[in-house]
Structure 1
């Protein structure tokens, strides 16, 4: 797409934003006062925004998955929690048992735990246990003002369960498909008489098979936390988690022949393991330790410090199949990846928030200093000649074990120091304006003695954001915003022998947030236009990636939550994403792979109390995943759309006992989730029965 075309699109979005503001201000001026119904509105806040502001009064798209929704959907992985969230492509690579996969507005997304970055270097990723979370927040679009270096599509912030003011406890037993077995507990209580010291312990043991034959995983998880109210104005929360996984990894890479396109040999079964189940191995040990310290200085100023130490040790030996360009062939070649190492990270965010009022105005000032350090070190090996296998009738054992002498050492460090500030003004309870800036200093090193590599670079980046929103009396709140992002790469450019330059992103967003007075709920509409520069483009002749590309993503998101009646609650969303890339093997600008142009979902909860069945809740959900494309540098194949049906039923037997059944993909629809040179089957039918005892 030409720069002129992009500029025209951005001007169009800005013009549209101004028109929306004028239109709704005019409508508000002409509107008559209507008698409001006695319904309390749904008020949602996101801690990732760093200031306590309802998301409906923020000129930026934010979606929140609440603890109630987590309980109803019973997700087993973080990416499963995002299936009913607008703007998110969840599990594009199918159900992977050692990695969470999701994209926001066409781009990879960063993951945070209570606002602390969970760093990722290649296969060294973090996994979060959904049972240990009280909320999941999705901040969409470029957000470097909040997080520093991060992808342009957005970020997912997971909020860990913390001690509650009201004592409670739960023990849960689960059984389900794929030999799923789990026992978990969640207990929160005071440990002194005046309740100023409260503790919570969340734990789980889980064992289950993977989607592919011969894959499995066993998880141990525990997360204690302690809150101390030192004074009425000073609060300290200590948090820790330990997660340990041990199993055989899924390798969801399938060739197009026999999956997406016809083969004379038939269709490859979705459960086929094209790796080596007796040789592949996956072990992970994760530890996080942190605290949140808050102190109210006076009626205006509040200061806080958020600290986290993360440790992630990984052993991964995972073989996989390569695609086969010949549909008549009955063999595919295989490769294998080996990683044995650990990463450590320290993050500390120091911030001060001031809130005060003058005449017709409410002011909120945010200032902070953010420090981050991340280090990954270990041995690695990639072998692209790990034998062959018949994908239609696999026979295992035809391979040569990896030779440790071929391992390569790798040492990657990233240090970030940041200063940020943001000012928010609310005028006459009608206008909300935001402006902010952040300066980041990032130093990156990538060292391998065996490869004779010792590269380092320092990047200094300034990020800017601004937004304007109008809060009309009729509940309509049009807004327009602009934000920037940058993402630091820790890999080396083979062409220059130096570290890649940061990816740079910017976003213009125009939207309307509607909180009607006749219904407990909201409807949000957002149009976005994202551009990422310095994107990697692979030369089709040399297969070397250089930074000459540009990725764009434009689209619209519509999401709504509404308590339609006392018994029915509806959550629905629709997303159109036009993601384009010029990493096409010299074919010009094409639709980017993996990202459906259209997605939609709806979930309806029914409380049967009014018909005399108190305690019974029934939920039904539909997910539509529209057509997507293979990565254009690989082929012009189209991945067909798929519609999936999910459901749940829960029954509270009495004040202590309850049962719940969740079934996803009820009809066991076999579908391809996406394609990017490889093809990936979507998750098959899963059923999960939970028995809960709570007090």
Structure 2
């Protein structure tokens, strides 16, 4: 029994004290003091951490924000590249992949949201977020079920879509680069006609790029129109929609340890080696969404907010990959095939009532919310052995038999979740911040095998708590303590055919946020411990995993974004993460795969003013420490990135981005399989703005 999940009396006292303090009073969105806010601090305002806009340096929750400017400067092409220069995040551990985003936060998976509403990713039905359509990305670290319901304990990534603006402006962005990279992006916004109460935004993009693996590629079309209507001084409505179509030959970067980490008589396997069937494999995805964000000020104290989105995703996936080495011929391996043909329909709504009021000594915010999520996934699929053996060092394609679609298994998954949550935040004497919240969730899950005519379901009720306390010192050094919980239903069955119990997690964290007057930026440091129960651990004889494990992460993070001078900006991060797994079958704790003990990164920007006006140079280094997969050690690695911008004429800008400058060849991680890291990428851009 875990001493953390069932705390000792002192820990439980801290939890109850935090909760009691918060529930005895009520909070406000903490606004930065006007004389204590600098440019960067003003940017670091998050609606994800508390569901009310709040400066992160005054919030007893760990969070990071990457702005549109940084997304553009580093030429972020996928969501999992966003936090490469932030603490607590592992990305790129599966190498380059074109059909999903891979992130690990504080040693665990994360939940992905867009505009505060859940994005569904289940059973290879992946909803992909296009970075060109975003104005920022926020990361709330650690368990977040108090505000977001079911979620793994790693954290919540919330991608914020570009919104209409009331002044006419726009940009055209043209890119070319290695791997046949071609991109055209257009972004326009402004008042709609002569109306001063209507504004629009239209974001569109075309991109084509080949993958790191031989014979892989992806072509994307993206369109995101939006409209804001200022109905009155009290009421505003923003309608958000998007259409995205991907046609790809999927990248399956799976490699065996044999030929990557382990030596062979035949040399090493080349990182670009593709074990799939490029002429047969496909990933055709079409995703469409429409929704809105409504805000209505009832009076000077109360405000009602509602977010809604309906989403559809259609998928045809044929994806073959290496499974194991041949017993009879060490040069050969067997392959498997994942096949999915189906659709996902979902809608979700989040209703919030926010009250803000003041007394002589306090600023108060009270948040009450009800959210609802509804998911239906229906389709046909299979997992099967695929084709004749393939040469691991010189693959030849075409030795396979296409899937007979009449043999596919047809299935349907329905999931509904209703959550009721309360949050209280109190700021006392401009020095103390107290935060507490509680949430009750009802989750219903039903899996149907339409081919066999069988059905299984489960109902889960869960209460989640959180609390925090922070001291806002006059010198800008603000220590805090917080406690949070998470739960996550598992949509699959154990060896007895029963649905797994939900995973549950808890985090206790102590940290400090530093943003003194005169410092244009911030620094945060935090020590934390997360424990998750009901994790999937040992593998049974039939290949099904037993629910017999616990995962634990004890970590320390330092993160800073600041201007060292008016021209020199530094983004730096360090993470120590002791992530372990312990199962009943193996009572010894072992290092969790994929998660390094040490990570560090630093990015420097320098803007020239006198010597070369209009020129900006940037460069960064990313160090990832050694990881383990059982007894297999994966060596540490360091890669370097660079950027150059030059405004060569009014409204015109050229940019060059190079990732993995030295084109270092390295194994990024091993977890059952091994994965080479992304190769060098060079992209040149020309941007026109008005």
**Could you say which residue in structure 2 is the equivalent of 1:667?**
662
What is the rounded CA distance, in whole Å, between the counterparts of 1:282 and 1:478 in structure 2? 48
Q: Is the 8 A contact 1:646 1:666 kept in 2?
A: yes
Give yes or no for the alignment of 1:232 onto 2:227. Answer: no
- Taking structure 2 as the reference length, the TM-score comes to 0.94
User: CA separation of 1:327/1:623 partners in 2, compared to 1, >3 Å: closer, same or farther?
Assistant: farther
The DSSP-based 3-state class of the residue aligned with 1:684 is coil
Cα pair 1:14 1:510 within 8 Å, conserved: no
Task: Report the Cα distance in structure 2 between the residues aligned to 1:13 and 1:524, rounded to whole angstroms.
Answer: 26
Note the alpha carbon deviations across 1:257-298, whole angstroms, 9 max, x for none: 110111111010100101111111110001110100001111
Which whole-Å deviations, capped at 9, do the CAs of 1:40-63 have from their partners, x for residues lacking one?
Answer: 844411122311211111101000
The answer on whether the counterparts of 1:537 and 1:583 sit within 8 Å (CA) in structure 2 is yes
Quote how far apart the aligned CAs of 1:328 are: 7.7
Deviation of residue 498 (structure 1)? 2.0
Does the CA contact (< 8 Å) of 1:594 and 1:674 recur in 2?
yes
Residue 122 of structure 1 deviates from its aligned partner by 1.8
2:667 and 2:674 in contact (8 A); partners too? yes
CA distance in 1, matches of 2:81, 2:483: 30
Residue 645 of structure 2 aligns to a residue whose secondary structure is strand
Instruction: Tell me which residue corresponds to 2:136.
Output: 135
Q: Which consecutive unaligned segments of at least 5 residues does structure 2 have? A: 19-34
Q: Give the SS at the match of 1:137.
A: strand
Change in CA separation of 1:37 and 1:226 when aligned onto 2, cut-off 3 Å: closer
| Alignment-derived partner of residue 619 in structure 1 | 618
Rounded Cα–Cα distance in structure 1 between residues aligned with 2:279 and 2:376: 31
Which residue, 648, 651, 656 being the options, matches 2:646?
Answer: 651
What count of residue pairs does the alignment treat as equivalent?
A: 672
Equivalence for 1:403:
404
Aligned to 2:274: 273
Superposed CA deviations along residues 11-34 of structure 1, whole A, max 9, x for unmatched, are: 59979x99xxxxxxxxxxxxxxxx
**Higher mean displacement: 242-251 or 159-168:** 159-168
For structure 1, the residue ranges without an aligned partner over 5 or more in a row are 19-34
**TM-score w.r.t. structure 1 length?**
0.93
Deviation at 1:323, TM superposition (A): 3.6
> Which position in structure 1 is the counterpart of 2:576?
576
Displacement of 1:151: 0.7
> Does the CA contact (< 8 Å) of 1:264 and 1:327 recur in 2?
no
User: What corresponds to 2:23 in structure 1?
Assistant: none
Distance 1:224 1:129, change over 3 A: same
Contact preservation (8 Å) 2:38, 2:519:
no
Alignment map for 1:637-648 (pairs within 5 Å): 637-648=632-643
Asked if 1:193 corresponds to 2:188, the answer is no
Alpha carbons 1:441, 1:461 under 8 Å: kept: yes
Separation in structure 2 between the aligned mates of residue 526 and residue 3 of structure 1, nearest angstrom: 21
Shift of 1:549: 1.5
In 2, distance between residues paired with 1:9 and 1:376?
A: 44
Q: Quick check: 2:386–2:401 contact (8 Å CA) kept in 1?
A: no
1:636-669 deviation digits (Å, cap 9, x = unpaired): 1011111000000011112221110000000001
CA contact (8 A) 2:509 2:527 kept: yes
Alignment deviations for residues 118-147 of structure 1 (CA, whole Å, 9 cap, x no partner): 011120111011000000000000000110
Q: Which residue pairs with 2:348 in the alignment?
A: 347
Q: Which residue of 2 aligns with 1:30?
A: none
Alpha-carbon spacing, 1:12–1:264, altered in 2? closer, same or farther (3 Å): farther
Q: 2:164 touches 2:227 (CA, 8 Å); kept in 1? A: yes
Residues in 1 aligned to 2:9 and 2:400: alpha-carbon distance in whole angstroms: 53
CA distance in 2, matches of 1:619, 1:328: 49
CA RMSD of aligned residues (A): 2.2
Q: Post-superposition shift, 1:400?
A: 1.6
Partners of 2:41 and 2:508 in 1: CA distance: 28
Task: After TM superposition, list the pairs within 5 Å mapping 1:372-411 onto structure 2.
Answer: 372-411=373-412
| CA distance 1:179–1:364, shift in 2 (3 Å) | same
- Measure the CA separation in 2 of the matches of 1:601 and 1:477: 24
Question: 1:491 matched to which residue of 2?
Answer: 492
